Amino acid sequence: MNGTPAVGIAKGPGETAHEYTFVSADCEQRLKNGEFVYYRASVEGGERRILGRISKREPVKLFPDSFLSDPSVSPDDVARAIGYSQPERELFELTVTVLGYYDEVFGAFINPRVSPSCGWSIYLAEDDLLRDTLARKRLRTHGSAHIGSLLSRPEGAVPVVLDVSEFTSTHLAIIASTGSGKSYLAGVLVEELMGPANKACVLVVDPHGEYDTLTALSNTGQLIEHGSVGEYRPRVRVFTPRDIKVKLSTLEFSDLRYLLPGLSERMEELLKKAHDRVKDRANSAWSLDELELEIGRIVERNLNSETAQVDYSGSASGLYWRLRSVLGKPPFTASQHLDLRELLRPGQCTVLQLDDVDEKQQQVIVATLLRRIYRARQRTTRKETAPGDEEYLPYPAFGLLEEAHHFAPSGGDAVSTGILKQVLAEGRKFGLGVGLISQRPGKLDADVLSQCMTQFIMKVVNPIDQNTIASAVESASRDILSELPALSKGQVIVTGNSMNAPVLCRVRERLTRHGGVSMDAPAEWNRWFEGDLIEERLRDQAVLRTPATLGKKNLFG
């Protein structure tokens, strides 16, 4: 019936309806937590392989502790000495969470709700079976992203291939503590998005300036396609903080209030009135001078009015100073901002480096940009704009936000939270997806996290962060989340819409160099004492001796 030898025998149902247990000696130690096994059952007249994941492994027979008393004596030797020389020395009871059989029509796992009877054979799932059922896409097909391979199998045996159309519409989250490889994984994802299978339009918000190595994408052979209509080569554009411009007219009043904290009620009222007026003008590209002029007009009008009861003149001077100090310098300008058509284009990855930008300004930059992209996609989809219009964006876009907890902090009032929530809730309709990357899910807004329907969860040790993940990630069962502290660098739990079942994955090697490596401080310190650096320092510190400083006596004496 089946050429594959059984690895265990079913014992009976587990604690919950979708669990069962089986017993195995597992001499070859193949039945790890997270490994996939199946049993055969008759479902609707046909035989099906009911796949499940091992969620618990408990010993039912082990050597007595007393056999382990002397580290220099193997318990096998002790057992053999008293006459036990069988290779089977341990017996385990394994709990399996049932995924079900893979239904080709639905393209999903269907749980038949038939637990295996006691005595049924349990088989280790073959690589082919997992390849065909766990991933929604086949390797290197259109709309696929190959991020690595199944952790419980040899490297490359079962590739983990994501459905790009899912996570670019229903959003993704990469959650991991520092140093566990989240930027590396994000780099792999960008490589896949920019490859010939996707030719995506990607915007990376990079608060630490560590994604500039992506520029190598253009010259990476695996990502270049020689097609019938010409060569495809991914394009990468890096915008440094100096290149980033925010047009004042794209700022909402809430942005202004956020940028200018501590305004008095009177100042806020005055600013709101002035902002409403400059915004209502036909030519919406107002400048700071115009805003100040409008403030002056309101103050003057109130002074001259017999009915007006408020004198704004005192507040106005303070407001001018604050406006100048914040909005009177880059990245805020009256007439320029990032052109969406330059920023977003299929086959192009744009990296927005925000490493020298103040955190509040970063939030405002992201908020205004997301608002503009969202509005452009909304209007283009509704056919309210035409080619040539500034808000014409005739293709879906995907944004990747590093340090997402800065842009949507939990319990915080960041100005970018609102638009992020809007994109997460409605972006799918207009072809706008976001990927959030964070090292502190506990500090990320819970609604924001729960709206990301594909999750990449790497090593997380902090219990608050673990709880946040458990409550926000619906698709991952508790047993798979219990693996979180045990994950190593480069290992990730992938769960959600882009896969048919949650999997433990080993991230593949990047095609481009990783930019987010930590600095080797001891090496830098040692470098300080190397000969060439010492000489260089001496040269720099030497007093420049010009003829004037040397004096005539020395010259002629």
Partner 1 sequence: MINAGKTMSMTIGKVIKSNSHVDYVCQVYGPGEVPNVPRPEDYALGTWVKLPAGSHPDSHAVGLVYDTQLYNPDYGTFGPRLSSPSQLEVFSPDYLSETATLLGLLVVGQIQPSHATSGYCPVVAQIGAPVARMTEDEVCAFHVGEGRLDLSYYSLLLSMPNPLLPPILVSVLDQLEGLMPEHERTLRALRTNLSWRTRVDLAR
The binding site for partner 1 (CB under 8 A) comprises: 66-67, 69-70, 72-73, 77-78, 80-83, 85
167 close to 454: Cβ distance less than 8 angstroms: yes
Least Cβ distance, residue 65 to partner 1 (angstroms): 9
Nearer to partner 1, 41 or 79 (CB): 79
3-state SS assignment for residue 356: coil
CB-wise, 64 or 156, nearer to partner 1? 64
Q: Which of 102, 162, 190, 139 is nearest to 497 (CA)?
A: 162
* CA 254/CA 333 separation, integer angstroms: 18
Residue type, 281: R
Give the strand pairing for 432-438 and 172-175.
Answer: parallel
Q: Whole-number minimum distance, CB 64 to partner 1, in Å?
A: 8
Instruction: Collect all residues with Cβ–Cβ distance below 8 Å to 511 and sequence separation of at least 6.
Output: 191, 217, 220, 222, 223
Task: Return the structure tokens found at 518.
Answer: 């930590």
Looking at beta carbons only, is 78 or 334 nearer to partner 1? 78
User: Cβ distance 354 to 206 under 8 Å?
Assistant: yes
Contact 213, 219 (CB under 8 A): no
**Nearest distance, CB of residue 524 and partner 1, angstroms:** 50
State whether the Cα torsion 495-154-176-140 is positive or negative.
negative
CB of 89: closest distance to partner 1 in angstroms? Answer: 15
Residue 27 CB, nearest distance to partner 1 (Å)? Answer: 20
Q: Which lies closer to partner 1 via its Cβ, residue 72 or residue 304?
A: 72
How does DSSP classify residue 21? E
| Closest of 350, 357, 346, 371 to residue 422, by C-alpha | 371
Write down the least CB distance from residue 76 to partner 1, Å: 10
Cα 424 to Cα 30, 173, 370, 379, distances in angstroms? 40, 11, 11, 17
Report the residue number, 82 or 544, with the smaller CB distance to partner 1. 82
Separation of alpha carbons 377 and 474, rounded Å: 29
Q: Give the Cα separation of 219 and 543 in Å (integer).
A: 47
Could you tell me the smallest distance in angstroms from the CB atom of residue 492 to partner 1? 43
How near is the Cβ of 23 to partner 1 at its closest, in Å?
24
The token duo for 351 is 């990296």
Which CB, 67 or 232, lies closer to partner 1? 67
In angstroms, rounded to a whole number, what is the distance separating the alpha carbons of residues 500 and 29?
26
Alpha carbons 372 and 378: distance in angstroms, whole number: 10
User: Is the CB of residue 401 less than 8 Å from the CB of residue 434?
Assistant: yes
- Closest to partner 1 by CB, 5 vs 83, is 83
SS3 198: coil
Based on CB atoms, which residue is closest to partner 1, 81 or 386?
Answer: 81
Nearer to partner 1, 79 or 216 (CB): 79
Spatial separation of the C-alpha atoms in residues 435 and 45, rounded to whole Å: 43
CA distance 5 to 98: 20
Closest approach of Cβ 79 to partner 1, in Å?
Answer: 10
**C-beta closer to partner 1: residue 76 or 252:** 76
How near is the Cβ of 71 to partner 1 at its closest, in Å? Answer: 10
Q: How far is the CB of 69 from partner 1 (least distance, A)?
A: 6
| Nearest CB to partner 1, comparing residues 81 and 486 | 81
Please report, as a single letter, which amino acid is at residue 296.
G
Which CB sits closer to partner 1, 78 or 446? 78
Alpha-carbon separation of residue 135 from 112, 218, 302, 433 (angstroms): 20, 28, 67, 21
Cα–Cα nearest to 418, from 378, 445, 442, 380: 445
What angle do helix axes 265-280 and 288-304 make, rounded to 10 degrees? Answer: 120
Concatenating the DSSP letter of every residue in 291-332 gives HHHHHHHHHHHHHH-SS-----HHHHHHHHHHHHHHHTSTTE
Coil/strand/helix, residue 208: coil
Taking the complex as a whole, the smallest distance from the CB of residue 87 to partner 1 amounts, in Å, to 15
The residue (of 70 and 356) whose beta carbon lies closer to partner 1 is 70
Which residue number, 32 or 80, has a Cβ lying nearer to partner 1?
80
Backbone angles phi, psi at 16, to 5 degrees: -115, 170
Give the shortest CB-28-to-partner 1 separation in angstroms.
24
